[in-house]
């Protein structure tokens, strides 16, 4: 019936959720989806422009500039979230970067470390800060953003793939560790997500192998069973489901939102 809350999103209203890198891309889609179901949001990002636009749309949310790889930034973020929201019910560990494209002998160690710092260590730092708050709330949920690159090897994108494989191990370990505290931990593995980041990845790879961008795009999609890209909203609705009561017994899972990526 019109106006009736879907049973698949029951329990979202009033939840206190922190979304990292929530002012743009997949994070923004997740924040919008959760806000539409009545969640109270805290969002961080590194882009002043994106944060300013987010504040215009969501004036009641906590918005804060923070780099998830910086321990001091993370500490301030969670302290502010606790003060603003009065606690925390869920964490969406979304922040990440694409990292460099190149052969292993071409990659700058500084770029390697930066990719792992943001995509993997950042999730550890945020979970480390969130868990005491989730325990104080009597339980909750963590959704970690991995990637289809965390399931398949990804030639010429080794820093990114290594980090996303790390997220998988981190997620499975946390699910076991935190289950007795009624904290569910899952990882989402998006595939080829439409947007500026994927456009940049495809363009870089096309330039590296010397083919037109559209040809490289077609090559990527030939490895997807459904032959199409994923929209950020696809990832957002899956996140909402995992945080809802409908997802109360889902933990320790690696959920592909990718149209079935067969290989990378």
Residues 6+ apart with CB under 8 A from 125: 68, 69, 71, 74
Residue 136, both tokens: 């104080």
Q: How far apart are CA 134 and CA 160, in angstroms?
A: 29
With tokens 């909203």, the residue in question is 233
Judge contact between 184 and 250, C-beta under 8 A: yes
Closest CA to 143 of 257, 261, 6: 257
Q: How far apart are CA 93 and CA 66, in angstroms?
A: 13
β-pair partners for 117:
none
Q: How far apart are CA 257 and CA 88, in angstroms?
A: 26
**Sign of the CA dihedral running 29, 34, 38, 43:** negative
Which of these is catalytic: 154, 156, 160, 220?
160
Q: How far apart are CA 35 and CA 187, in angstroms?
A: 21
Catalytic annotation on 160?
yes
Q: How far apart are CA 234 and CA 237, in angstroms?
A: 6
Strands 254-257 and 183-190: parallel
Active site (catalytic) residues: 160
């Amino acid at each position: 019936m019109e106006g009736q809350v879907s049973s698949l999103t029951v329990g979202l209203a009033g939840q206190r959720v922190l979304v990292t890198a929530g002012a743009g891309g997949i994070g923004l889609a997740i924040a919008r989806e959760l806000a539409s179901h009545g969640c109270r949001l805290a969002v961080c990002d590194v882009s002043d422009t994106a944060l300013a636009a987010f504040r215009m749309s969501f004036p009641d949310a906590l918005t804060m500039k923070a780099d998830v790889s910086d321990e001091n930034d993370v500490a301030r973020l969670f302290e502010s979230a606790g003060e603003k929201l009065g606690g925390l019910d869920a964490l969406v560990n979304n922040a990440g970067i694409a990292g460099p494209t190149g052969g292993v002998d071409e990659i700058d160690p500084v770029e390697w470390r930066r990719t792992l710092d943001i995509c993997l260590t950042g999730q550890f730092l945020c979970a480390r800060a969130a868990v005491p708050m989730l325990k104080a709330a009597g339980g909750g949920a963590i959704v970690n953003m991995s990637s289809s690159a965390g399931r398949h090897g990804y030639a010429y994108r080794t820093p990114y793939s290594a980090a996303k494989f790390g997220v998988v191990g981190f997620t499975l370990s946390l699910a076991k560790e935190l289950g007795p505290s009624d904290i569910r931990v899952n990882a989402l593995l998006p595939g080829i997500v439409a947007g500026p980041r994927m456009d940049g990845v495809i363009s870089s790879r096309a330039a590296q192998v010397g083919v037109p961008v559209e040809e490289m795009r077609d090559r990527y999609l030939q490895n997807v069973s459904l032959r199409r890209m994923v929209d950020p909203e696809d990832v957002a609705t899956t996140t909402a489901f995992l945080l809802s009561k409908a997802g109360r017994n889902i933990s320790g899972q690696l959920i592909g939102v990718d149209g079935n990526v067969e290989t990378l």
